């Protein structure tokens, strides 16, 4: 953020290098100490997740629904080791392969759902905040009602409506993504609406009105560009929630069929029965995958949140810390 | 994640809050109370139409198992072949008179079903709330007191870890460790068969097992119930404990920097007392507010926890009814949850307004 302000100063008309303007990269440069450690760990975990998602077809030793190879059928519930590094499940699936493929499913669902909720939420937020009136009131009441409701339950209801027991890869993915979208739209809506209302009172919007710019132009250019600064942050935070919701849906059996895609939550559900007989590998590996992915995304989001807030940002050797914080308060 | 963000900046002045205009507490409470109804109404409407888009409940529940003519007869008998709007208004009328219908899969009155399983969920919620408070508040105090040092870093990481671990995975790990490997606690259920039998034979059961066991003086059953309660309560409690930890930490850091705390310190008040009394009490206001808002998170978590531990409450039952496509039952459960959420939000708003006059407009 400080980069954009320096870029706006008269003596430096050129923009800061691209690397510094990218959300995460600029945050890493700003951060110090513990905050930097957390951000770096988060970035590393997220990077690992994205790499796994991208290269799953190459690194996974077997297919996600593969139960046999040239040597014959895979053993059921085989302990980790040998050909199956992380063991196999009741159905004879290779756990390592399913975890790797699962990252791909998760990544696709995140991208689709967050993109959809961004689009709908931002559009509605701009309209509602800019025009106000009865449209605004109705949208706010609906968004609040949806927001207050347990998101997982809403996602379950949505997934029944959309999928109706559908099991194809894209069918299942879209059902999950839509369900998550419904949950997230109110969040984007709230943020963008609040920003729009704030920005509407700013002089530059007023001057645009005076000049005679159309409402659409003001919304699309002047307000939109200024209101979306916080979006990378919400994006990261929502991505982690999307993974948890997807896993929750899968765990309850409203996710994607095991033969059409690999999904961590579904595998954990199946692992529940194994647990009582002491078979740990079917559940622990997909579970750890969920935890690490959510952890990575959350650490990135949290650190960005702290760094965007000057009160929470750690300062680089700013003398006595207590004094500076007190001066800020007074 | 929004839950965590909200946790730090409680949005008590939500966008729906009445804007400007003077008015006393009474007016504010009235407006807030009236806002409950649109919330419930919207959710009920939403769920009704969403469920009906997929077809009528009878085909959904029994389709394929009965010949088409019998199916048609039952659909006609239940009135599901009428226009959807007629059904919708009839449904609203029924709800208004407290008639929620009968479940399709096991033919129980919905109200009775809600009462039976609701108490089980209530018990789980209370247990896990206790766990969350016992873990979250003291750890939050430590983190705030040792701000930016190692304990704080470790605890903040722990809080994020609590959030990042899905309840069902935490449950699975707890099961693997404490029931399978160590054998300390039972794997699943609310109580063993004997205890459940004893509980069902009580004259006027409250449905909350430990309360019933205490009242009937059945201490053997109490022990059994307690053993069953530990793992689910910890699994669900940890999820919220992380949120409480961060909440207490953030708010305590705010009050610990105040002058009166410094004054207390200079008068020789012990650090322990400063943290737990002087700074903690004023920090309690935002903490209570956000705690109330956690109820939605807890209800969502309860569905997963109950399924993990076969705890026969609303969440477990909801998953069962969903699988059976019993939409009447599902609508009943969703309705109850909507009412709970709407009322908690109302109570939280009122509490916040009574404690802090600045909240009112």
**From its phi and psi, is residue A319 left (phi > 0), alpha (psi between -120 and 50) or beta?**
left
pLDDT of residue B288: 72
Of the segments B188-197, B213-222, B291-300, B338-347, which one has the largest average pLDDT value? Answer: B338-347
C-alpha distance from A79 to closest chain B C-alpha (Å): 16
| Diameter of chain B measured on Cα atoms | 86
Residue B189 neighbours by CB under 8 Å, 6+ apart: B228, B309, B310, B311, B312
C-alpha distance from B217 to closest chain A C-alpha (Å): 32
Q: What is the mean pLDDT of residues A188-215?
A: 81
From chain A, pick out residues whose CB is under 8 angstroms from the CB of B153. Answer: 34
Task: Express each pLDDT in A251-296 by its tens digit.
Answer: 887 767 767 777 787 778 777 777 777 677 777 888 888 888 888 8
B318–A148 C-beta distance less than 8 A: no
What is the spatial distance between Cα A51 and Cα A49, in angstroms, rounded to a whole number? 5
C-alpha distance from A9 to closest chain B C-alpha (Å): 32
Greater model confidence, A230 or A138: A138
Residue A323 above 60 pLDDT?
Answer: no
B257–A329 C-beta distance less than 8 A: yes
Task: Express each pLDDT in A231-257 by its tens digit.
Answer: 767 777 778 888 888 888 888 877 677
Could you say which of A157, A164, A276 has the minimum Cβ distance to residue B180? A276
pLDDT confidence of B63, banded at 50, 70, 90?
low
What is the spatial distance between Cα B131 and Cα B151, in angstroms, rounded to a whole number? 21
C-alpha distance from B214 to closest chain A C-alpha (Å): 30
A238–B164 C-beta distance less than 8 A: no
CA dihedral over B209, B213, B219, B220, signed as positive or negative: negative
Name the strand (E) or helix (H) holding A68: strand A68-69
CA dihedral over A125, B3, A184, A27, signed as positive or negative: positive
pLDDT of residue B357: 60
pLDDT of residue B126: 82
What is the spatial distance between Cα A261 and Cα A168, in angstroms, rounded to a whole number? 8
Provide the 10 A C-beta neighbour count for residue A72: 7
Helical segments of chain B, H only:
2-8, 25-53, 57-62, 68-78, 84-96, 110-145, 150-164, 167-174, 193-200, 209-215, 219-256, 259-266, 271-273, 280-309, 314-323, 327-355
Q: Spell out where chain A has E strands.
A: 68-69, 72-73
Residue B1 above 50 pLDDT?
Answer: no
Query: Which one, of B190, B57, B61, lies nearest residue B122 by Cα?
Result: B190
What is the spatial distance between Cα A91 and Cα A273, in angstroms, rounded to a whole number? 13
Residue B72 above 60 pLDDT?
Answer: yes
Name the strand (E) or helix (H) holding A73: strand A72-73
pLDDT of residue B82: 74
What is the spatial distance between Cα B40 and Cα B51, in angstroms, rounded to a whole number? 16
Name the strand (E) or helix (H) holding A69: strand A68-69
pLDDT of residue A5: 44
CA atoms within 13 A on the CB side of A186: 22
Q: What is the mean pLDDT of residues B182-201?
A: 70
pLDDT of residue A256: 73
Provide the 10 A C-beta neighbour count for residue A326: 13
Across chain A, mean pLDDT equals: 73
C-alpha distance from A153 to closest chain B C-alpha (Å): 6
Q: What is the mean pLDDT of residues A190-216?
A: 81
Could you say which of B2, B43, B51 has the minimum Cβ distance to residue A241? B2
Q: Which residue of chain A is at minimal alpha-carbon distance from B167?
A: A248
Q: What is the mean pLDDT of residues A196-218?
A: 80
From chain A, pick out residues whose CB is under 8 angstroms from the CB of B325. Answer: 160
CA dihedral over B188, B189, B193, B199, signed as positive or negative: positive
B173–A237 C-beta distance less than 8 A: no
Most A CBs within 10 Å, among B6, B40, B43, B166, to test the A interface: B166
Q: What is the mean pLDDT of residues B112-127?
A: 82
A161–B50 C-beta distance less than 8 A: yes
Residue B17 above 50 pLDDT?
Answer: no
**Alpha-carbon torsion, ordered B122, B124, B126, B129, to 10 deg:** -130
Interface of B with A in 76-95 (CB under 8 A): none
Copy the structure tokens of residue B290.
């956000």
Phi and psi at B102, nearest 5°, equal -120, 140
Greater model confidence, B207 or B257: B257
Q: Does B322 reach chain A within 8 Å, measured CB to CB?
A: yes
A240–B164 C-beta distance less than 8 A: yes
Residue B4 above 50 pLDDT?
Answer: no
β A72-73/A68-69 pair status? antiparallel
Q: What is the mean pLDDT of residues B118-132?
A: 84
Residue B201 above 70 pLDDT?
Answer: no
Angle (CA) A210 A213 A219, round 5°:
115
Residue B15 above 50 pLDDT?
Answer: no
pLDDT of residue B11: 41
A142–B163 C-beta distance less than 8 A: no
The span from the first CA to the last CA of chain B, in angstroms, equals 29
Greater model confidence, A280 or A113: A113
Across chain B, mean pLDDT equals: 75
Name the strand (E) or helix (H) holding A235: helix A231-252
| CA distance readout (Å), B38 to A150, B92, B167 | 17, 13, 31
According to DSSP, residue A131 is labeled H
Greater model confidence, A174 or B128: B128
pLDDT confidence of A330, banded at 50, 70, 90?
very low
Residue A147 above 50 pLDDT?
Answer: yes
Residue A13 above 70 pLDDT?
Answer: no
pLDDT of residue B5: 39
Q: What is the mean pLDDT of residues B12-31?
A: 58
Interface of B with A in 235-274 (CB under 8 A): 257
From chain A, pick out residues whose CB is under 8 angstroms from the CB of B239. Answer: none
According to DSSP, residue A143 is labeled H
Query: Which one, of A43, A34, A37, lies nearest residue A300 by Cα?
Result: A43
Give the percent of chain A with pLDDT over 70: 67
Of the segments A98-112, B74-88, B341-355, which one has the largest average pLDDT value? Answer: A98-112
Which residues does residue B215 pair with via DSSP β-bridges, in sequence order?
A: none
pLDDT of residue B337: 80
**Is the distance from CB of A127 to CB of A189 less than 8 angstroms?**
no
Copy the structure tokens of residue B263.
């004054």
Residue A8 above 50 pLDDT?
Answer: no
pLDDT of residue B317: 84
pLDDT confidence of B205, banded at 50, 70, 90?
low
Interface of B with A in 141-170 (CB under 8 A): 148, 153, 157, 160-161, 163-166, 168-169
A193–B15 C-beta distance less than 8 A: yes
Query: Which one, of A112, A105, A143, A107, lies nearest residue A127 by Cα?
Result: A143
Could you say which of B4, B16, B165 has the minimum Cβ distance to residue A140? B16
Location of structure tokens 């756990």: A95
Residue A64 above 70 pLDDT?
Answer: no
Phi and psi at A260, nearest 5°, equal -100, -20
Q: What is the mean pLDDT of residues B81-110?
A: 77
pLDDT of residue A18: 61
From chain A, pick out residues whose CB is under 8 angstroms from the CB of B35. Answer: 141
Copy the structure tokens of residue B33.
């109370």
**B330 Cα distance to chain centroid:** 17
Query: Which one, of B1, B45, B33, lies nearest residue B334 by Cα?
Result: B45
Residue A26 above 80 pLDDT?
Answer: no
Of the segments A70-84, A154-168, B256-270, which one has the largest average pLDDT value? Answer: B256-270
pLDDT of residue A322: 44
Greater model confidence, A139 or A310: A139
pLDDT confidence of A318, banded at 50, 70, 90?
very low
Query: Which one, of B55, B61, B43, lies nearest residue B322 by Cα?
Result: B61
pLDDT confidence of B331, banded at 50, 70, 90?
confident
ipTM: 0.74
Copy the structure tokens of residue B229.
């309660």
**B203 Cα distance to chain centroid:** 28
Least confident of B209-218, B232-241, B243-252, B340-349: B209-218
Q: Counting one residue from A and one from B, how many pairs have CB atoms under 8 Å apart?
A: 166
pLDDT confidence of B65, banded at 50, 70, 90?
low
Could you say which of A144, A157, A275 has the minimum Cβ distance to residue B14? A144
What is the spatial distance between Cα B116 and Cα B28, in angstroms, rounded to a whole number? 35
Could you say which of A156, A164, A241 has the minimum Cβ distance to residue B54? A164
C-alpha distance from A229 to closest chain B C-alpha (Å): 16
What is the spatial distance between Cα B214 and Cα B120, in angstroms, rounded to a whole number? 16
A149–B338 C-beta distance less than 8 A: yes
Q: Which residue of chain B is at minimal alpha-carbon distance from A165?
A: B323
From chain B, pick out residues whose CB is under 8 angstroms from the CB of A272. Answer: 168, 172, 308
Location of structure tokens 């299942």: A172
**Is the distance from CB of B294 to CB of B237 less than 8 angstroms?**
no
Interface of B with A in 172-231 (CB under 8 A): 172-173, 175-176, 179-181, 187
A247–B2 C-beta distance less than 8 A: no
Phi and psi at A84, nearest 5°, equal -105, 95
Greater model confidence, A38 or B21: A38
According to DSSP, residue A80 is labeled S
According to DSSP, residue A72 is labeled E
Which residues does residue A68 pair with via DSSP β-bridges, in sequence order?
A: A73
Copy the structure tokens of residue A297.
């995304």
Residues in chain A: 330
């Amino acid at each position: 953020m400080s980069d954009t302000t320096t870029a706006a100063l008269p003596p430096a008309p050129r923009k800061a290098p691209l690397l510094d303007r990218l959300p995460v990269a600029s945050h890493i440069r700003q951060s110090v100490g513990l905050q930097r450690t957390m951000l770096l760990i988060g970035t590393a975990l997220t990077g690992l997740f994205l790499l796994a998602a991208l290269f799953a077809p190459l690194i996974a030793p077997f297919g996600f629904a593969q139960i046999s190879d040239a040597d014959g059928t895979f053993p059921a519930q085989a302990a980790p080791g040998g050909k199956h590094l992380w063991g196999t499940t009741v159905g004879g699936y290779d756990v390592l392969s399913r975890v790797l493929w699962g990252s791909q499913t998760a990544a696709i669902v995140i991208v689709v759902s967050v993109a959809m909720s961004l689009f709908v939420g931002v559009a509605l937020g701009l309209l509602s905040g800019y025009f106000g009136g009865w449209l605004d009131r109705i949208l706010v009441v609906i968004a609040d009602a949806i927001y207050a409701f347990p998101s997982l339950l809403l996602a379950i209801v949505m997934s029944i409506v959309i999928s109706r027991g559908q099991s194809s890869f894209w069918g299942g993915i879209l059902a999950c993504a839509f369900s998550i979208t419904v949950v997230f739209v109110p969040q984007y809506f709230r943020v963008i609406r609040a920003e729009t209302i704030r920005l509407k009172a700013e002089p530059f919007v007023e001057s645009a009105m005076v000049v005679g710019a159309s409402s659409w132009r003001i919304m699309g250019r002047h307000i939109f560009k200024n209101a979306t600064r916080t979006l990378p942050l919400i994006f990261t935070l929502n991505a982690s929630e999307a993974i948890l919701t997807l896993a929750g849906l899968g765990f309850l059996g409203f996710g994607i069929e095991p033969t059409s895609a690999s999904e961590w939550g579904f595998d954990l559900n199946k692992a529940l029965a194994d647990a009582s007989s002491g078979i740990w590998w079917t559940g622990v590996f997909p579970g750890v995958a969920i935890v690490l992915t959510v952890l990575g995304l959350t650490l990135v989001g949290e650190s960005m949140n702290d760094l965007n807030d000057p009160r929470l940002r750690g300062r680089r050797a700013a003398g006595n810390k207590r004094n500076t914080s007190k001066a800020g308060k007074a | 994640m929004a839950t965590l963000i909200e946790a730090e900046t409680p949005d008590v002045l939500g966008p729906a809050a009445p804007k400007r205009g003077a008015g006393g507490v009474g007016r504010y409470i009235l407006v807030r109370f009236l806002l409950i109804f649109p919330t419930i109404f919207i959710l009920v409407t939403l769920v009704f139409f969403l469920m009906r888009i997929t077809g009528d409940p009878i085909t959904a529940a029994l389709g394929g198992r009965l010949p088409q003519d019998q199916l048609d007869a039952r659909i006609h008998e239940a009135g599901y072949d009428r226009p959807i709007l007629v059904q919708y208004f009839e449904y609203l009328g029924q709800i208004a008179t407290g008639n929620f219908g009968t479940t399709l899969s096991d033919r129980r009155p919905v109200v009775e079903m809600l009462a039976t399983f609701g108490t089980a969920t209530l018990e789980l919620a209370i247990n896990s709330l206790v766990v969350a408070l016992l873990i979250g508040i003291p750890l939050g105090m430590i983190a705030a007191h040792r701000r930016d040092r190692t304990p704080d870093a470790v605890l903040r990481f722990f809080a994020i870890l609590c959030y990042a671990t899905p309840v069902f995975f935490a449950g699975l790990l707890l099961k693997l460790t404490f029931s399978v490997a160590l054998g300390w606690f039972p794997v699943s259920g609310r109580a063993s068969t004997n205890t459940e039998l004893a509980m069902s034979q009580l004259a006027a059961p409250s449905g909350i097992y430990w309360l019933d066991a205490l009242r009937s003086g059945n201490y053997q059953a109490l022990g059994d119930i307690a053993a069953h309660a530990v793992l689910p309560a910890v699994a669900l409690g940890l999820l919220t404990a992380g949120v409480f930890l961060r909440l207490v930490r953030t708010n305590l850091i705010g009050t610990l920097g105040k002058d009166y705390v410094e004054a207390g310190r200079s008068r020789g008040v012990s650090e322990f007392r400063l943290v737990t009394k002087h700074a903690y009490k004023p920090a309690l206001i935002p903490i209570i507010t956000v705690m109330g808002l956690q109820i939605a998170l807890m209800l969502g978590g309860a569905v997963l926890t109950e399924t993990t531990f076969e705890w026969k409450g609303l969440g477990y039952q909801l998953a069962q009814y969903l699988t059976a496509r019993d939409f009447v039952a599902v609508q009943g459960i969703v309705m109850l949850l909507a009412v709970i959420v709407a009322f908690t939000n109302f109570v939280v708003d009122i509490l916040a307004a009574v404690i802090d006059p600045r909240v009112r407009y």
